[in-house]
């Protein structure tokens, strides 16, 4: 995916960030290489042990200090108002409760702090939305580690009390055949 264009999306996701960042569900750390040098440190939270191990190897090669820790989006190992930015990248599809994860992000953000997101989301076309609903009600989340294909994540971000000030919608990968996971959003929101 990264060779197919995701690396460029990751770069845009993180461009312009500065200060202390908390990345939630960091996986194996594919974002780490893209943090700008104005970021003073990243707390990368990842629940899965094997991914954490690989993430630590990627952290050692990152251009900014990255600490990889265990944790889940609902209970972040961070103090209130301690982060300049929170990053979700391909994670809000999988958290058990988006509203709760976003409330927790709001808790750890400083007033005016930024939320950055890159997520696959609910389709804009009716037909694909119907397919997504069928998949989400079936085996997809069971087989995909809790992943849901049809979540309206931009709406959830706004409902959680953030103001979205930049939002891109695009298909990724940009292949001739649209998959249920093709519709993506990438953007920035601020804590109100």
Ligand X SMILES: C[S@@+](CC[C@H](N)C(=O)[O-])C[C@H]1O[C@@H](n2cnc3c(N)ncnc32)[C@H](O)[C@@H]1O
Q: Give me the residues that bind ligand X (CB under 6 A), please.
A: 24-27, 30-31, 46-48, 51, 72-73, 89-91, 94-95, 146
Question: Min. distance of Cβ 21 from ligand X in angstroms?
Answer: 13
> Based on CB atoms, which residue is closest to ligand X, 29 or 113?
29
Nearest-CA neighbor of 173 among 165, 183, 164? 183
> Based on CB atoms, which residue is closest to ligand X, 31 or 122?
31
R_g of the chain computed on alpha carbons: 16
Residue with nearest beta carbon to ligand X:
27
Residue 146: alpha-carbon gap to chain centroid: 15
Beta bridge partners of 69: 45
Question: Min. distance of Cβ 126 from ligand X in angstroms?
Answer: 26
DSSP state of 186: E
> Based on CB atoms, which residue is closest to ligand X, 94 or 153?
94
Beta bridge partners of 83: 109
> Based on CB atoms, which residue is closest to ligand X, 89 or 128?
89
Question: Min. distance of Cβ 89 from ligand X in angstroms?
Answer: 4
Asked if 25 contacts 118 with a C-beta cutoff of 8 angstroms, the reply is no
Question: Min. distance of Cβ 91 from ligand X in angstroms?
Answer: 4
The pair of three-digit structure tokens given for residue 128, joined into one six-digit string: 């694909």
> Based on CB atoms, which residue is closest to ligand X, 94 or 182?
94
The pair of three-digit structure tokens given for residue 38, joined into one six-digit string: 């104005």
Q: Is 126 left (phi over 0), alpha (psi -120 to 50) or beta?
A: alpha
Question: Min. distance of Cβ 191 from ligand X in angstroms?
Answer: 19
């Amino acid at each position: 995916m990264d060779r197919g264009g995701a690396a460029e999306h990751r770069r845009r996701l993180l461009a312009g960030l500065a200060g202390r960042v908390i990345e939630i569900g960091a996986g194996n750390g594919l974002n780490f290489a893209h943090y700008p040098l104005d970021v003073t440190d990243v707390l990368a939270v990842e629940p899965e042990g094997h991914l954490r191990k690989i993430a630590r190897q990627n952290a050692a090669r990152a251009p900014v200090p990255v600490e990889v820790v265990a944790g889940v989006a609902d209970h972040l190992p961070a103090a209130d108002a301690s982060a300049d930015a929170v990053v979700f990248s391909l994670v809000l599809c999988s958290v058990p409760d988006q509203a709760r994860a976003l409330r927790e992000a709001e808790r750890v953000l400083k007033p005016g702090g930024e939320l950055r997101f890159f997520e696959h989301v609910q389709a804009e076309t009716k037909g694909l939305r119907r397919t997504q609903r069928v998949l989400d009600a079936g085996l997809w989340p069971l087989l995909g580690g809790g992943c849901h294909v049809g979540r309206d994540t931009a709406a959830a971000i706004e409902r959680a009390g953030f103001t979205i000030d930049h939002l891109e919608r695009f298909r990724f990968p940009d292949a001739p055949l649209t998959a249920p996971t093709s519709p993506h959003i990438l953007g920035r929101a601020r804590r109100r």
